[in-house]
Amino acid sequence: MQTDELHTRLRESGLRATRQRSAVFGLLRDAGGHHSVDDLVGLLAESGDPLSRMTVYNVVSDLTGAGLLMQADVGPGRALYEASETWHHHFVCRSCGIVIDVPCARSTKPCLETPPGLDLSVDEAQVIYRGLCPACRAGAHPLEERSSERHT
Ligand SMILES: [Zn+2]
Ligand SMILES: [Zn+2]
């Protein structure tokens, strides 16, 4: 993604287009996938544009608040961030920990009905799917229960 385009996206979301925000947003757009703050600090250093961990925390927090990044709910552990335009859920492999995007069956929030009898107004329901990824299923875990596979 070009710097101009990054700046435009930041401004459209109501953020000032700082160099740090462009660097982090551009990196997540280009790299794809799900990254922790520590990953991002490492990747930025490798790319010759090092930022402190505190700066990266602040930037992902601003970008997430503005709707440019999604915080991927993958259970306990490090928070993961991604630049995604589409609301979706996540599969986490019990064996290797890989995170795979799962399209939302309803594609709009909230994705699940609120159980009856609860006086809650729910605007978002994140689902974490767990099981074995194809690589682990094919490998050393023949006795593990198989995750249900759906072919569409
Ligand atoms: Zn796996
Ligand atoms: Zn994702």
CATH fold of 3-72 reads Arc Repressor Mutant, subunit A (1.10.10)
Hey, what are 150's tokens? 């759906």
Which ligand is the nearest neighbour of the Cα of 132? Answer: 1
CATH 1.10.1220 correct for 86-138: no
Amino acid at 135: A
Listed in sequence order, the residues at least 6 apart from 44 whose beta carbon sits closer than 8 Å to its beta carbon are 23, 24, 27, 50, 51, 56
User: pLDDT per residue over 81-130, tens digit each?
Assistant: 999 888 899 999 999 999 999 998 777 778 887 888 888 888 888 889 99
Question: What is the pTM assigned to this prediction?
Answer: 0.79
Segment of 14-23, 67-76, 99-108, 110-119 carrying the highest mean pLDDT = 14-23
Q: How far is the CA of 119 from the centre of ligand 1 (A)?
A: 38
Q: Where are the domains of the chain?
A: 3-72, 86-138
Q: How far is the CA of 49 from the centre of ligand 2 (A)?
A: 25
Residue 38, phi then psi, degrees to nearest 5 = -60, -40
Q: How far is the CA of 139 from the centre of ligand 1 (A)?
A: 9
CB atoms within 10 A of CB 21: 24
Task: Give the bridge partners for 151, in sequence order.
Answer: none
Q: How many residues does the chain have?
A: 152
